[in-house]
């Protein structure tokens, strides 16, 4: 007999997250900040201890900042340089990863279980998120107008149903959710296997940069990580198998160029086959896919987890605004529009890097690496690679913003640059001042003074707030939140200032002259409704 569901009951949660890996945990932490009632389930009871992500870029660190994590939350090692070496030609490529972008180092290494525990602490602190481990999703049914009925098996082996308005599949590369919504995982699986070895406490100083030893006989990326750790990734030859290569005597042989096995402790090792795959759509009605459930990439540019973090930063606030009645459910369609093209671009970049890292023969290595070395002689091409300009910018072509010609440093459909601010609580990064809000930011102008009381109320009803970022020496002009800009990243407009509508994920929705304040509010509300 068909069960009648009371969708108006308290038993219906707003969001069910399937998977408490790093991406599911980051989503839960963000939803917690927005005050959304959500439940996370995971079939496992604790974080996975396999050697997986090791590198994060400035964009990932900025999203983790958004989720409430700071420099103290988990340990990192700042990487100053990536060097690529060919056995026949010597060094053929370098990437400069010194310095910061938007307040964060360009590249760090970290220990994934450490990050996952930090995210879980953040989720626990949020208060509105219920976490149930040892519980596996078995099935889901969507009821178009109402929500999703999820069938799960709990830790006692019993089947239960969970009712949710929306469901997010953060259940990894073998996603059950992806299968249940009928999404194919298109792309390719690489023919090669890779042995990953994490070791720690070598007596001698560890390497202080990332090195790619691009030897066709045994390509090997090698890098330092927190806690005196080092990571080696060894490509296996077709005749080698995982079981044999994981044996201590084999690992000893592989590590011999760097250290004897007696000089370090091998913490963990695993053999992987890498994939480059992406779904055709990241959403089916009330169900969304994030992280490895939506896309997987070979790790040569360290972007798998980073892409998942971009997914959840994009989706979390939209879900929050919808379930809290501040925006129309139609805005959720922009998640796929905004995220999928960039995820695909990153996979393409990783594939290109794979060609550099693992040429299949000595002649190919000499040809590819020789060409790369030659390109370094041409200054613009050298800086294209060395300064990471090859990395696809995280700027949307279409989505929940209004397109316009770029003016100055503020780009619609891309994140507002982060800047140091002087506030009454001392120096703070601008994202921390923007907080978890949709914000009308006045650069050098108090936005509230340009609006009628009615427009202010309309903006607040849409979850909007006001922030006056004054130039050095400017004073607050109303009860808008106020801070003083300490750098030049946000210089926009003339002396009368500039207005920017910034989404909670820091993406610029709209911008314009102070005279356009009323119009900007109307346009932003129209985009949300």
Ligand X SMILES: Cc1cc2nc3c(=O)[nH]c(=O)nc-3n(C[C@H](O)[C@H](O)[C@H](O)COP(=O)(O)OP(=O)(O)OC[C@H]3O[C@@H](n4cnc5c(N)ncnc54)[C@H](O)[C@@H]3O)c2cc1C
Interface positions with ligand X (CB under 6 A)? 18-24, 41-44, 48, 52-55, 136-137, 170-172, 176, 196, 272, 291-292, 299, 302-306, 308
Minimal distance in Å, beta carbon 64 to ligand X?
12
Contact (CB, 8 A) for 170 and 291: yes
CA distance 483 to 467: 8
CA distance 36 to 62: 21
Minimal distance in Å, beta carbon 275 to ligand X?
10
The DSSP annotation for 489-507 comes to TT--SBTTBEEEEE-TTSB
**Which residue's CB atom is positioned nearest to ligand X?**
21
Structure tokens at 134: 């040892």
Residue 4 CA: distances (Å) to CA of 8, 13, 196, 450: 12, 17, 51, 52
Minimal distance in Å, beta carbon 25 to ligand X?
7
- Greatest Cα pair distance in the chain: 75
By beta-carbon proximity to ligand X, the closer residue of 44 and 427 is: 44
Minimal distance in Å, beta carbon 156 to ligand X?
15
Give 255-259's long-range contacts (Cβ < 8 A, gap of 24+).
255/197, 255/199, 258/202, 258/222, 258/230, 258/232, 259/202, 259/203, 259/204
Structure tokens at 71: 């420099």
> Phi, psi at residue 291, to the nearest 5°?
65, -145
Minimal distance in Å, beta carbon 196 to ligand X?
5
DSSP H or E stretch at residue 251: helix 248-255
> Phi, psi at residue 223, to the nearest 5°?
-155, 155
Minimal distance in Å, beta carbon 122 to ligand X?
15
Structure tokens at 160: 């239960």
By beta-carbon proximity to ligand X, the closer residue of 52 and 342 is: 52
Q: How many residues does the chain have?
A: 529
Minimal distance in Å, beta carbon 264 to ligand X?
19
By beta-carbon proximity to ligand X, the closer residue of 68 and 308 is: 308
By beta-carbon proximity to ligand X, the closer residue of 174 and 397 is: 174
Structure tokens at 437: 């809000």
Minimal distance in Å, beta carbon 176 to ligand X?
4
Minimal distance in Å, beta carbon 19 to ligand X?
3
Residue 36 CA: distances (Å) to CA of 129, 225, 323: 8, 35, 8
CA distance 206 to 212: 15
Residue 456 CA: distances (Å) to CA of 132, 225, 459: 41, 49, 5
By beta-carbon proximity to ligand X, the closer residue of 57 and 436 is: 57
By beta-carbon proximity to ligand X, the closer residue of 306 and 510 is: 306
By beta-carbon proximity to ligand X, the closer residue of 178 and 503 is: 178
SS3 116: helix
By beta-carbon proximity to ligand X, the closer residue of 291 and 399 is: 291
Give 5-12's long-range contacts (Cβ < 8 A, gap of 24+).
5/143, 5/146, 5/149, 5/163, 7/143, 7/146, 7/147, 7/163, 9/163, 11/163, 12/147, 12/163, 12/164, 12/165
Nearest to 443 by CA among 425, 414, 421: 421
Minimal distance in Å, beta carbon 181 to ligand X?
13
CA distance 30 to 220: 36
By beta-carbon proximity to ligand X, the closer residue of 22 and 442 is: 22
By beta-carbon proximity to ligand X, the closer residue of 220 and 480 is: 220
By beta-carbon proximity to ligand X, the closer residue of 196 and 507 is: 196
| Spatial CB neighbours of 114, under 8 Å, sequence gap ≥ 6 | 74, 75, 226
By beta-carbon proximity to ligand X, the closer residue of 48 and 462 is: 48
Minimal distance in Å, beta carbon 88 to ligand X?
27
Minimal distance in Å, beta carbon 180 to ligand X?
9
Strand partners, 510: 501
Minimal distance in Å, beta carbon 146 to ligand X?
22
By beta-carbon proximity to ligand X, the closer residue of 52 and 62 is: 52
Structure tokens at 185: 């995982």
């Amino acid at each position: 007999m068909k069960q009648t569901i009371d969708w108006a009951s308290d038993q219906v949660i707003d969001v069910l997250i399937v998977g408490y890996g790093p991406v599911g945990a980051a989503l839960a932490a963000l939803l917690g900040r927005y005050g959304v009632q959500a439940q996370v389930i995971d079939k496992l009871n604790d974080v996975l201890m396999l050697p997986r992500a090791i590198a994060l870029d400035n964009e990932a660190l900025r999203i983790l900042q958004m989720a409430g994590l700071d420099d103290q939350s988990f340990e990192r090692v700042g990487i100053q340089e990536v060097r690529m070496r060919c056995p026949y030609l010597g060094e053929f490529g370098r990437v400069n990863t010194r310095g910061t972008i938007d307040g964060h180092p360009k590249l760090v290494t970290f220990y994934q279980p450490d990050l996952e525990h930090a995210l879980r602490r953040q989720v626990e602190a949020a208060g509105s998120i219920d976490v149930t481990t040892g519980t596996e999703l078995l099935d889901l049914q969507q009821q178009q107008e109402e929500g999703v009925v999820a069938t799960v098996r709990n830790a006692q082996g019993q089947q239960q149903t969970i009712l949710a308005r929306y469901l997010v599949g953060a259940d990894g590369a073998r996603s059950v959710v992806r299968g249940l919504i009928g999404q194919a995982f298109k792309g390719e699986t690489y023919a090669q296997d890779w042995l990953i070895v994490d070791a720690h406490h070598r007596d001698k100083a560890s390497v202080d940069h990332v090195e790619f030893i691009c030897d066709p006989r045994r390509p090997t990326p090698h890098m330092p990580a927190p806690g005196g750790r080092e990571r080696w990734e060894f490509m296996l030859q077709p005749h080698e198998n995982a079981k044999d290569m994981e044996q201590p005597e084999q690992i000893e042989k592989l590590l011999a160029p760097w250290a004897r096995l007696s000089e370090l402790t091998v913490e963990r090792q695993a053999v992987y086959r890498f994939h480059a795959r992406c779904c055709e759509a990241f959403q089916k009605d009330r169900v969304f896919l994030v992280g490895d459930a939506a896309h997987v990439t070979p790790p040569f540019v360290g972007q798998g987890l980073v892409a998942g973090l971009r997914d959840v930063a994009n989706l979390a606030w939209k879900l929050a605004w919808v379930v809290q009645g501040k925006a129309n459910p139609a805005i959720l369609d922009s998640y796929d529009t905004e995220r999928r093209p960039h995820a695909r671009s990153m996979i393409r970049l990783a594939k290109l890097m794979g060609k550099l890292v693992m040429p299949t023969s000595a002649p190919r290595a000499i040809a590819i690496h020789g060409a790369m070395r030659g390109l370094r002689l041409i200054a613009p091409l050298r800086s294209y690679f060395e300064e990471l300009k090859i990395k696809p910018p995280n700027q949307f072509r279409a989505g929940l913003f209004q397109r316009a010609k770029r003016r100055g440093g503020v780009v619609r459909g891309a994140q507002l640059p982060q800047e140091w601010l002087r506030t009454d609580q001392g120096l703070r990064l601008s994202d921390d001042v923007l907080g978890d809000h949709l914000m009308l930011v006045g650069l050098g102008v108090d936005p509230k003074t340009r609006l009628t009381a009615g427009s202010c109320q309309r903006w607040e009803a849409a979850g909007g707030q006001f922030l006056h970022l004054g130039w050095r020496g400017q004073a607050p002009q109303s009860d808008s939140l106020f801070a003083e800009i300490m750098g030049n990243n946000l210089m926009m407009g003339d002396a009368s200032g500039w207005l920017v509508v910034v989404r909670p994920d820091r993406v610029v929705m709209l911008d314009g002259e102070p005279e356009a304040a009323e119009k900007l509010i109307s346009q932003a509300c129209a985009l949300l409704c």
